[in-house]
Amino acid sequence: MNAFCPNCEKDTEQKFVDKVEEINIRGEMIPIHMEYYQCEECGEDFEIPRPDYDPLDAVYREFRSRKGMAQPEEIKKFRKELRLTQKELSEILGIGIATLNRYENGALQSEAHDQA
Protein backbone atom coordinates (compact mmCIF):
# COMPACT_ATOMS: atom_id res chain seq x y z
CA MET A 1 0.00 0.00 0.00
CA ASN A 2 1.29 3.48 -0.83
CA ALA A 3 0.80 6.24 1.75
CA PHE A 4 2.44 9.47 2.84
CA CYS A 5 5.36 8.97 5.24
CA PRO A 6 5.86 12.02 7.48
CA ASN A 7 9.41 10.86 8.17
CA CYS A 8 10.42 10.58 4.48
CA GLU A 9 7.98 13.37 3.52
CA LYS A 10 6.80 11.53 0.41
CA ASP A 11 4.51 8.76 -0.76
CA THR A 12 6.19 5.43 -0.05
CA GLU A 13 5.29 1.76 0.04
CA GLN A 14 3.92 0.81 3.48
CA LYS A 15 3.56 -2.71 4.81
CA PHE A 16 0.94 -3.83 7.32
CA VAL A 17 2.37 -5.29 10.55
CA ASP A 18 0.21 -7.35 12.92
CA LYS A 19 1.98 -8.77 15.97
CA VAL A 20 1.91 -9.30 19.70
CA GLU A 21 4.24 -7.15 21.77
CA GLU A 22 4.88 -7.17 25.51
CA ILE A 23 4.54 -4.02 27.58
CA ASN A 24 5.95 -3.66 31.10
CA ILE A 25 3.28 -2.48 33.54
CA ARG A 26 4.60 -2.12 37.09
CA GLY A 27 7.15 -4.88 36.58
CA GLU A 28 4.77 -7.31 34.89
CA MET A 29 5.02 -8.08 31.19
CA ILE A 30 1.60 -7.91 29.53
CA PRO A 31 1.16 -9.14 25.93
CA ILE A 32 -0.76 -6.78 23.68
CA HIS A 33 -2.02 -7.09 20.10
CA MET A 34 -0.58 -4.29 17.92
CA GLU A 35 -1.39 -3.30 14.34
CA TYR A 36 0.55 -0.66 12.43
CA TYR A 37 2.06 0.27 9.10
CA GLN A 38 5.79 0.40 8.49
CA CYS A 39 7.43 2.54 5.80
CA GLU A 40 9.43 0.30 3.45
CA GLU A 41 11.95 3.11 2.79
CA CYS A 42 12.86 4.41 6.24
CA GLY A 43 11.42 1.69 8.51
CA GLU A 44 9.36 4.16 10.56
CA ASP A 45 6.25 2.68 12.24
CA PHE A 46 2.84 4.37 12.13
CA GLU A 47 -0.09 3.43 14.33
CA ILE A 48 -3.39 2.70 12.68
CA PRO A 49 -6.03 4.93 14.27
CA ARG A 50 -8.81 2.72 15.61
CA PRO A 51 -11.54 4.35 17.68
CA ASP A 52 -12.73 0.91 18.83
CA TYR A 53 -9.37 -0.25 20.24
CA ASP A 54 -6.95 1.46 22.61
CA PRO A 55 -3.85 -0.68 23.22
CA LEU A 56 -3.03 1.05 26.53
CA ASP A 57 -6.57 0.51 27.80
CA ALA A 58 -6.33 -3.17 26.82
CA VAL A 59 -3.03 -3.55 28.71
CA TYR A 60 -4.42 -1.82 31.82
CA ARG A 61 -7.53 -4.02 31.72
CA GLU A 62 -5.40 -7.17 31.51
CA PHE A 63 -3.19 -5.96 34.39
CA ARG A 64 -6.24 -5.19 36.56
CA SER A 65 -7.70 -8.60 35.74
CA ARG A 66 -4.49 -10.40 36.70
CA LYS A 67 -4.28 -8.50 39.99
CA GLY A 68 -7.99 -8.81 40.84
CA MET A 69 -8.41 -5.03 40.68
CA ALA A 70 -11.63 -3.18 39.84
CA GLN A 71 -12.18 -2.05 36.25
CA PRO A 72 -13.21 1.60 35.61
CA GLU A 73 -16.86 0.76 34.95
CA GLU A 74 -16.99 -1.27 38.19
CA ILE A 75 -15.69 1.68 40.20
CA LYS A 76 -18.29 3.96 38.65
CA LYS A 77 -21.09 1.38 39.17
CA PHE A 78 -20.08 0.96 42.84
CA ARG A 79 -20.21 4.72 43.40
CA LYS A 80 -23.59 5.05 41.68
CA GLU A 81 -25.06 2.10 43.63
CA LEU A 82 -24.14 3.98 46.81
CA ARG A 83 -25.74 7.12 45.30
CA LEU A 84 -22.60 9.12 45.90
CA THR A 85 -21.01 11.86 43.85
CA GLN A 86 -17.35 11.61 42.94
CA LYS A 87 -16.64 14.26 45.56
CA GLU A 88 -18.45 12.33 48.30
CA LEU A 89 -16.77 9.00 47.49
CA SER A 90 -13.34 10.59 47.15
CA GLU A 91 -13.74 12.14 50.61
CA ILE A 92 -14.77 8.78 52.10
CA LEU A 93 -11.79 7.03 50.46
CA GLY A 94 -9.37 9.82 51.33
CA ILE A 95 -8.30 10.41 47.74
CA GLY A 96 -8.66 13.46 45.53
CA ILE A 97 -11.72 13.92 43.35
CA ALA A 98 -9.47 14.26 40.28
CA THR A 99 -7.85 10.92 41.14
CA LEU A 100 -11.22 9.16 41.41
CA ASN A 101 -12.29 10.75 38.13
CA ARG A 102 -9.15 9.45 36.41
CA TYR A 103 -9.77 5.93 37.76
CA GLU A 104 -13.37 5.98 36.51
CA ASN A 105 -12.09 7.07 33.10
CA GLY A 106 -9.45 4.37 32.71
CA ALA A 107 -6.29 5.46 34.54
CA LEU A 108 -4.54 2.59 36.31
CA GLN A 109 -5.14 2.84 40.03
CA SER A 110 -2.55 1.90 42.62
CA GLU A 111 -3.11 -1.41 44.41
CA ALA A 112 -3.49 0.51 47.69
CA HIS A 113 -6.26 2.69 46.23
CA ASP A 114 -7.92 -0.37 44.73
CA GLN A 115 -8.13 -1.98 48.18
CA ALA A 116 -9.90 1.09 49.58
At 73, the amino acid letter reads E
Q: What is the pLDDT of residue 4?
A: 87
Structural domains of the chain ordered from first start? 2-67 (3.10.20), 72-115 (no CATH)
pLDDT per residue, tens digit, the chain (116 aa), is 888 888 889 899 999 998 899 999 999 999 998 888 999 999 999 887 778 888 899 999 999 999 999 999 999 999 999 999 999 999 999 999 999 999 999 999 988 887 77
- How far apart, in whole angstroms, are the C-alpha atoms of residue 113 and residue 56? 20
* Contact between 34 and 21 (Cβ < 8 Å): yes
- How far apart, in whole angstroms, are the C-alpha atoms of residue 56 and residue 105? 13
Q: What is the pLDDT of residue 75?
A: 96
